[in-house]
Structure 1
Amino acid sequence: MTTKCIPLERLKREVNLINPFINKISDLYSVRGLDVVSRPHRLNFSALIYITEGQGLHYVEHQQHRLRTGSMLVLGKNQIHAFAKERSVDGYVLSFDCSFLSNGSNDPYFDLLLSAMVHINCVHHADEDIGPLFSAMVNEFESTSEFKDEIIRNLIRSIILKAVVPSYQHQKQSSQRIGNNDYYRLKKYIDEHFQDRPTAGDIALALGKSTKQLDKLAKDHAGLSVKELVDERVLVEAKRLLAFSQYSISDIANRLGFNEATNMTKFFKRHTDVNPKDFRQLCKIGLHQK
C-alpha cells in the first residue's frame, strides 16, 4: 500500500539521546528486511555508515553513491536515504544525536563538526586508520567502563575530524571560522521552523540576537544570509517531498508555507531553473542528481 508521506526512522533511545548505538549493515538487512531498508526514509537523528567489505550503491537525497571498502556515508537529521535493493556490502551503521558530540558550551570544534556533517554526505576514500577507530568503538559499546560514554564521544569526534572535516574544508577551499554554539542554535531554529518561513527579524527575536549579528554568523559559517539559509532549507524540503512523497504540488506548497502553489513554483524555478512538476518527473526517471 502506497502512502503519501516519507517514512520516519526514529532513534531507538529517544528518551536517552546520550546513548548512540551501532549495528552491522548485514544485521539491518536480516532483522528489518529488504523492503524496509531499501525504501527511502527520513532520519530524526544523524548517522555514519562505514563500509568494511564489498562494493555497492546507497542513495542519499537525490544522489546515488557508489561505495567500496573504506567509504563512509554521513547522514544528517531529516535527510532521506535508502540502502540498495540487494546487499553487496557490509560494515557499521552508527546512529546518534548530534548533541552527544558536544563537549560543553565552550567546545571550540562543535560548530565545525556540525557544518562538516551538513555539507558532506560521502567520503569515498577514508584514511586507513578510520577502520580501527570503528573497531575500537564496537569494543567500547560492550565495555562496562565508567568512562564509556566519553570514550565513544571522542571516537566519533575523531572519525569526523579525521575524515569528514578535511573533505568539508577542501570543498570550501578555505577553513571555516570556529565559533561557539550560536550557529548550531541558528541552524536548529531554522530546521524546526522553516515551514513558517520566519524572517531574519523573527529568528533574531527568538534567539536574543540582532539581525546584524545573525547575518554575520550565517555569513561567517555558511557564506549565506539568514534569509538564504531559510530559503535553502525550504528548497531542500521541497525537493524531498517532490522526489519521495505522493503529495500534490499544491499540498507541498501549503506544507511549506506558500500562500499559493504558483508562488512555490516561482520560488522553486528561481533556485533550480526547473519547475516542481518537471523536477518530480526527472526524479522518477533517475536523471536529476542534485
Structure 2
Amino acid sequence: MENGHPAVRQLRYSPAVGSSHGVEVIDFAALRHMDVHRHRVRPQRPDFHVLALIASGTGSHEADFGAHRLAEGSVVWIRPGMVHRWSDIDACDGPLILFRAGFLPGFTTAEATAPACWRLGRQRLDLALFAAGHLGREHDAAVDTPRLASPALLSHLLAALLLRVLPDAPARTDAASAGHRDRSAGVFGLYRAAVEEHFADWHQVADYARALGYDVRTLTRATRAATGTGAKTFLDQRVLLEAKRLLAHTDLPVVGCARRLGFRDAAAFTTFFRRQTATPPAAWRAAYGADSASGP
C-alpha cells in the first residue's frame, strides 16, 4: 500500500454518481449497507474529511491510537491522513459528511486543535442535526437537479455545521484583536501546511522560517496561539505521530522508519522517539503494533 502502511487501507475520495461538488452526505445505515464485508473495522487512512454525528445508539471508534466510546451527541472528525477504524458502529445512527481536503479553506486552526471525538449537549446536538439535514437536502437537490447545484452554498452550509459542532468556539473580540487573530491563524496555516509537506525532511523550525519568510519567533507565537504549544513541539508531535503509524502498521525495521522520517540513523531516531514517549521504538511496536492489537 501507499505511504508504507501495508496494514492500512488507503481510501480515496470517490463520490457517488452525480455528487461531484466536493461534499457528500450519507448516514451510518448507508455506510453499513455499502460495507457488507466490514472493511470499516480494519485500519484505514482516508485522504478526505469525515464528520460524523451520533444521533442515537452507542458504539466505538479508534483514531491514531486513541479509543473513543460513541453515544448520543458524540461528534467524530476524521481528518485526511488519520489512521482510524470504526470498531463498532452497528447500533449507531446519524449523518456522516464526507468532504474533500481543501473544500473548506480557513478552518486550518480548527482542524489542528479539534480532537478526534467529543460530545455535544442535547440542544447543540439538535441544532447540529438540523444543520446537517439542511446540508443533506441541498446536496440531494444538487444531485437530482444539477441546475440548482451551488458548491458555494454547500461550502457555506458545511462551514455553518462545523461552527455549530466545534468545541470551545472562541468568543467574539474587538476588530483589532480579531484582525490580529486572523493574521496569526494565517501564519499558522502556512506553517502547518509546510510541516505536513516536509516533516520527513525538515526537523527544525528554522527550516520552515526560511522557506516561509518568517522568523522562528513569529512561527512559534502563531502556533502557540492556535494550538497551545510551540512550533517545535508541534513539529515534533507530527514526526512522532508518523513514527507511531509506521511502527504500528508496517513491518519496516526501526532503521527503515528512521530513513523514512529523515533521521540520519536508527540511533538518532531512537533517541528522538524515546525522548518523546519514554519508550524505545521496538518496545512501543511490541505494545501497539498490528500483531498485538486486539481484533474487531
TM-score (norm 2): 0.80
1:82 and 2:85 aligned: yes
Q: Is the contact made by 2:7 and 2:43 (CA closer than 8 Å) also made in structure 1?
A: no
What residue number does 2:253 align with? 248
Residue 216 (structure 1) aligns with: 221
Q: Given the superposition, is the C-alpha separation of residues 22 and 246 from structure 1 closer, same or farther in structure 2, using an over 3 Å criterion?
A: farther
Q: Which is further off, 82-91 or 67-76?
A: 82-91
Distance in 1, matches of 2:74 and 2:279, equals 32
Match of 1:70 among 58, 69, 73: 73
| Paired residues of 2:59 and 2:88 also in contact (CA < 8 A) | no
For 1:94, what is the secondary structure of its paired residue?
strand
Which of 266, 277, 281 is the matching residue for 2:282?
A: 277
Percent same amino acid at aligned positions? 24
Aligned to 1:182: 187
Structure 2 residue runs of 5 or longer lacking an equivalent are: 172-176
Look up the match of 1:153: 155
Q: Distance in 1 between matches of 2:136 and 2:109?
A: 25
CA contact (8 A) 2:51 2:98 kept: yes
1:100 maps to which of 81, 99, 103: 103
CA contact (8 A) 1:34 1:85 kept: no
Aligned to 1:120: 115
Distance 1:283 1:241, change over 3 A: same
* Between 236-245 and 222-231, the greater mean CA deviation after superposition: 222-231
Which letter maps to 1:197? Answer: W
Q: Normalised by the size of structure 1, how large is the TM-score?
A: 0.82
Instruction: State the one-letter code of the partner of 1:66.
Output: R
CA RMSD of aligned residues (A): 2.9
Counterpart of 1:114 in structure 2: which amino acid? E
Q: Is the 8 A contact 2:247 2:281 kept in 1?
A: yes
SS of the equivalent of 1:123 reads strand
TM-superposed CA distance for 1:150, in Å, is 2.9
Please state how far the C-alpha of 1:167 moved relative to its aligned partner. Answer: 7.1
Q: Does 1:133 align with 2:128?
A: no
Q: How far off is 1:5 after superposition?
A: 5.0
CA contact (8 A) 2:141 2:149 kept: no
Letter in 2 for 1:9: L
Q: Does the CA contact (< 8 Å) of 2:8 and 2:42 recur in 1?
A: no
- Provide the C-alpha distance between the structure 2 equivalents of 1:229 and 1:243, rounded to a whole number of angstroms: 21
User: In structure 2, what is the Cα distance between the partners aligned to 1:205 and 1:44?
Assistant: 29
Cα distance in 1 for residues equivalent to 2:282 and 2:203: 26
Off by >4 Å, runs of 4+ in structure 1: 284-287
Q: For residue 241 of structure 2, what is the aligned residue in structure 1?
A: 236
Structure-1 separation of matches of 2:13 and 2:170: 26
Structure 2 distance, partners of 1:87, 1:101, is 30
Shift of 1:48: 0.4
Task: Mark the CA change 1:124 to 1:223 in structure 2 (over 3 Å): closer, same or farther.
Answer: closer
1:199 aligns with 2:204: yes
Query: How far does the alpha carbon of each residue in 1:13-63 deviate from its partner, in whole angstroms, 9 at most, with x for none?
Result: 6xx985211222222222233342111011212220112232111111111
Tell me which of 8, 12, 31 is aligned to 1:10: 12
Amino acid at match of 2:182: G
Q: Deviations over 1:198-233 (max 9, x none)?
A: 432321232232333222222322233332222110
Paired with 2:140 and 2:154, the residues of 1 have a C-alpha distance of 11
Local SS of the residue matching 1:34: coil
Assess, with a 3 A threshold, how the Cα gap between structure 1 residues 61 and 248 changes in structure 2: closer, same or farther.
same
